[in-house]
Structure 1
Amino acid sequence: MENEAQKTASAHVDRWLADRISVAWDFLTARPVSLYAASVLRIGYGLLYLIFLLREFPHRHEIWGPGSPWTPALANQLFEQTGWHSVLTLSDSRAYFELCYVLALITSALFMLGWRTRVTSVLFAVVVISFHGRAIFMTDGGDNLILLMAIYLVFTACGRRWSLDARRDRLKTVRSGRAPERARSCVAQQLHDARTTLITVVHNCGMLVIAAQVCILYGSAGLYKVQGASWGGGTALHYALNLELFRPWPALSHFVDEYTLLLAIVGYMTVLLQVAFPFVLFGRLKYPVLAMLLGMHIGIAVLMGLPLFSGAMIIADAVFLPDRFYTFLPHLCRRAMRRTVSRRPGPGRAAGSRAVPAQGRAGVLGSKQQVTLPAGRKDTLATEPASPGRPRGAVES
């Protein structure tokens, strides 16, 4: 009896494991997930790095170029120890550096627009790695996150939505729909299906790695804060607001610092949100948590002067929003535009004026009656039988 019970339990466990493996395999191979979220990451990080390069354009020589105190020779010595690489250290020529900088701007713009995304995603990762490694001691958490995301996005199909590639594919589909479809051989069809499955699996794994990276980042940051006495005592934000390095607006920092109780509550809420973030992703509670994290990052950008870090984190949070959220946004925008247009007064009408009632046509006029006007003269007016919603009198031509 015991052997039969053990065999039955083992059969149940094997069946449960087979079901779970089947579900996981279907999830990975059935269709690419979060295509809109991947496109938002592509647009966000491409735009963010483009703005970053444009902002540092006047100081490019002191940070990455020949005028940097961290010379290419010193960078190469560090690369020998760390295994890092950078295309900026291949030459000391100023013309070479200017060419690399212009190509970096173009690559960021093309990656943001989604032009030939398979190639530009690799080039964008090379750009971020090169600039990050060239001035490794001048980077912060925002740079590190952009570096990781640039590498992860290489493995995703981030050009399937909201891109020039998607527009080109739609036009190609329209043209091919008019022409007869070419029949494929059995081997060609199998190769096509294998390629599609491989791209789907790699994309889904890449999106899972991105989501796991964000969860690890929030969870580790929250657990690290829990160990600190200043966060436990509620005074961490007070000290942060009084650091000269993180006070872009001293008057604003001083004003916020006066609300000590509010700062303590915000500090505790920050730790709670970061620690609980990985555990609320599978329910509707993640939406208010993401909204509060958005407010937290905006506050960091304004009060502490870290827009690159805050922007990188806000864009990373977009990976947890489902595709139905992004597909609903255009409908919401169109609805808002229609309401705005409908409320706007038309040409020739004063705002707030009432609509002129429809005038009666000749031949449909009813009986006539005399009406005395304010000027004292009499005109002949034509009236129709009363009808709901329509005035009785209409001027007869």
Structure 2
Amino acid sequence: MGNEQCPPRSPAAAAPPLPPPGQGSSSVGTVHQWVLCRLVAAWALLTCRPVSLYAASVLRIGYGLLYLAFLLREFPHRGEIWGPDSPWTPALAHQLFEQTGWNSVLALSDSPAYFEFCYATAVVTSVLFILGWRTRVMSVLFAVVVISFHARAIFMTDGGDNLMLLMAVYLAFTACGRRWSLDARRDRLQSARAGHAPEPVRGSCAQQLRDARTTLTTVVHNCALMVIAVQVCFLYGSAGLYKIQGSTWGGGTALHYALNLELFQPWPTLSHLVDRFPMVIAMAGYVTVLVQVAFPFVLFGRLKYPVLAVLLGMHLGIAVLMGLPLFSGAMIVADAVFLPDRFYTFLPRLWRRAARRTGRRRAAPDRATVPASVPAQGRPKAPVPEHGVVRGAG
């Protein structure tokens, strides 16, 4: 995927001019012009250039790493979960597929060799998807892998698996390989080799097809990112509204009961230690509900940054206290879609600045070699004359 840019437009073509005040223009005409301007601006935003390319790359790397870690973690138990040793046999899976409409490449054969080949293919696909090698093809293969493994053991999945499945499908429609990928590196090298060489002359038909392809790719990418953002908003909003209906969240005791569930106690001592502070637990529950309900309404202002920070802390707490790292990781990666590109471009500059400061500190001479304003302790040495005889000695 290249970095196609929208051709420059004249101001007159970009948006129709608003009627100047004081010329008797009606309010209806002014509203009509305002709506028309907004529609033109929205259409330009949708078709001119792909947005949030860094965020899409973060989603690609994040979900690829999560699924690769998931596959490697379940490597000793892969046969019992998805393979021929699973109690949920391929025959039972096919019966369920006829009712639900799901499908899986793992259910095509009972052969152990075939399953091992599919498992190795899933691991390799996840690695190449993370690296961004041939991202268009790898994104589709990654979605097929996630769908196949999800459908093969659908009764062993949770909310994190469901969210990762949706995001894998959405990412197949995005240009998630244009930043921080091997594809982007290859494009930079090709541009550097080409230098200032003139572009090949194309016919009008070929140029129109190229422009249409660029516009279609841009529109699909922007729509897919919009769907991802709306999906996350619905997830937080519905979760917050569902919590409001319960009496335990209103009474501030919901997290107390969650911390005392044996199924979600990876470290019981830590859970009991946190449970000793009921006031803190109640405040955390109220903040959780407030942030989740307000999340869809704070995305277009600076208030979203502290809200995202609170959500980050909430998911880290869920990962540690409840033992749900996959779910928390999927939610944290999904929140990255709301951070602008300037945030991700600022991070490398901040890293390089910190590296330079660290390098300067390491290159600085030791304090012993630097002349200090305070003289060294001890008796000063007597000066030695030119002929090597010390005056007063004898």
Query: If the length of structure 1 is used for normalisation, what is the TM-score?
Result: 0.87
Q: Secondary structure at the match of 2:300?
A: coil
Deviations 1:194-213 (A, max 9, x none): 11111111111111111111
Establish whether residue 374 from structure 1 lines up as the match of residue 375 from structure 2. no
Matched, 1:64 2:66: no
Give the letter aligned to residue 183 of structure 1: V
Q: Per the alignment, in what secondary structure is the counterpart of residue 49 of structure 2?
A: coil
Partners of 1:376 and 1:36 in 2: CA distance: 67
Aligned to 2:317: 299
Structure 1 partner of 2:368: 353
Aligned to 1:113: 131
Structure 1 segments unaligned to the other structure (5+ residues): 1-6, 358-372, 381-397
Q: Does residue 244 of the first structure (1) align with residue 262 of the second (2)? A: yes
- Partner AA of 2:188 in structure 1: R
Cα distance in 1, alignment partners of residues 27 and 39 from structure 2: 18
**Distance in 1 between residues matched to 2:367 and 2:166, nearest whole Å:** 55
Alignment of 1:256 with 2:270, yes or no, is: no
* 1:156 Cα offset (Å): 0.6
**Counterpart residue identity of residue 104, structure 1:** A
Report which stretch shifted further, 282-291 or 185-194: 185-194
Q: 1:179 offset after TM fit, Å?
A: 3.5
Q: Say if 2:191 is the partner of 1:173.
A: yes
Is 1:208 the counterpart of 2:226? The answer is yes
Unaligned runs of 5+ in 2: 1-24, 373-379, 388-394
CA 1:345–1:169 in 2, change beyond 3 Å: closer, same or farther?
closer
SS of corresponding position for 1:161: coil
CA deviation vs aligned residue, 1:272-291 (integer Å, no higher than 9, x gap): 00000001111101001101
Q: Which has the higher contact order (CA 8 A, sep 6+)?
A: 2
Distance 2:330 2:227 in 1: 16
Equivalence for 2:206 = 188
Q: What is the alpha-carbon distance in structure 2 between the residues aligned to residue 174 and residue 375 of structure 1?
A: 66
Measure how far apart 1:374 and its partner are. 2.5
Aligned counterpart, 1:313: 331
SS of 1:77's equivalent in the other structure is helix
Q: Which residue of 1 aligns with 2:147?
A: 129
CA shift digits 1:138-177 (9 cap, x unpaired): 0001000100000000111000000000000001111122
Distance 1:268 1:374 in 2: 72
The answer for the alignment partner of 2:98 in structure 1 is 80
The residue identity in structure 2 corresponding to 1:38 is A
d(CA) in 1 for partners of 2:180, 2:190: 16
Name the aligned partner's letter for residue 270 of structure 2.
L
Cα distance, 1:345 vs. partner?
5.2
Distance 2:255 2:60 in 1: 32
Of the two, which has the highest radius of gyration? 1
Q: 1:89 aligns with which of 91, 98, 107?
A: 107
Q: Distance in 2 between matches of 1:295 and 1:335?
A: 27
Does the alignment pair 1:142 with 2:160?
yes
Per the alignment, residue 121 of structure 2 pairs with 103
Q: Shift of the alpha carbon at 1:320?
A: 0.5
- The residue number in structure 2 matching 1:163 is 181
1:58 is aligned with what amino acid? P
Residue among 252, 276, 286 paired with 2:304: 286
Report the number of matched residues: 358
Q: Distance in 1 between matches of 2:280 and 2:116?
A: 48
Deviations 1:39-98 (A, max 9, x none): 000000001100110001001011111111111111110000000010000000000000
| Secondary structure at 2:57 match in 1 | helix
1:368 match = none
Whole-Å Cα distance in 1 between the matches of residues 125 and 266 of structure 2?
A: 31
Q: What TM-score results when the alignment is normalised by the length of structure 2? A: 0.88
**CA distance in 2 between partners of 1:24 and 1:287 (Å):** 24
**How many percent identity over aligned positions?**
74
Secondary structure at the counterpart of residue 115 of structure 1: coil
Deviation of 1:129 after TM superposition, in Å, equals: 0.2
Q: Secondary structure at the match of 1:158?
A: coil
Equivalent residue, structure 2, for 1:385: none
Shift of 1:16: 3.2
Q: How far apart in 1 are the matches of 2:342 and 2:386?
A: 64
Aligned equivalent of 1:41, options 59, 66, 82: 59
**Match of 2:192, as an amino acid?**
V
Whether 1:151 and 2:169 are equivalent positions in the alignment is: yes
- The letter for the 2-side match of 1:333 is W
Secondary structure, aligned partner of 1:378? coil
List, as ranges, runs of 4+ consecutive aligned residues in structure 1 with deviation greater than 6 Å: none
Amino acid at match of 2:331: M
